[in-house]
Amino acid sequence: MELIKVGYITNTHGIKGDIKIYPLTDYPERFDEKIDFYIEDEKTKVKIKKTRLHRGLVYVKLEGYNNINEVLKFKDKYIYINEEDRLELPEDIYYISDLVGMEIIDGDKLIGVVKEVMSNQANDIYICEDKNKKEFMIPAVKEFIKNVDIKNGKIYTELIEGIIE
């Protein structure tokens, strides 16, 4: 079973066992879904009883946890879902976790691997690494990214001079 990271538990909230989660998803409402969640390390399986969004954080009441002492162990841990519980994305939208590790092919030449995806207001930027561990960045725009083949782990590009030096 593959688990997908969807949040980071920043702290407890109050004395009745609530926790604060920094969402690592563009859809924080997913914490309202009636699915299984897992908290890292021991992969503790939890159910969410109640949620509310406030100032970019998700405040969560877990089923069966009724005081602060029971949830203190979850502080500074990640919360996960099963891979099959991921949302279906529209065409040409990808999960960052699927992009990291993909090979970058320019023309017919392997030029590197995606190490990280940086998001900014205009567009995402793929931070890549060549075989010599030298980093380069590719803006994730249709002018450069021609095809993303998730199944085969390859991103086909048409780059301009200067992106890879």
Task: Give the start-to-end residue ranges of the domains of the chain.
Answer: 3-84, 96-157
- CA dist 108 and 33 (Å) reads 43
4-58 confidence digits (pLDDT tens): 889 999 999 999 999 999 998 888 888 999 999 999 866 889 999 999 999 989 9
CATH of domain 96-157: 2.30.30.240
Is the pLDDT confidence value at 3 over 90?
no
Q: Provide the pLDDT for residue 120.
A: 80
Tokens representing 19? 């926790």
124-165 confidence digits (pLDDT tens): 899 999 999 999 999 999 999 999 999 999 999 999 888 777
Q: Is the pTM of this model over 0.85?
A: no
pLDDT (mean) for 71-94: 89
**Maximal CA-CA distance, the chain:** 59
CATH of domain 3-84: 2.40.30.60
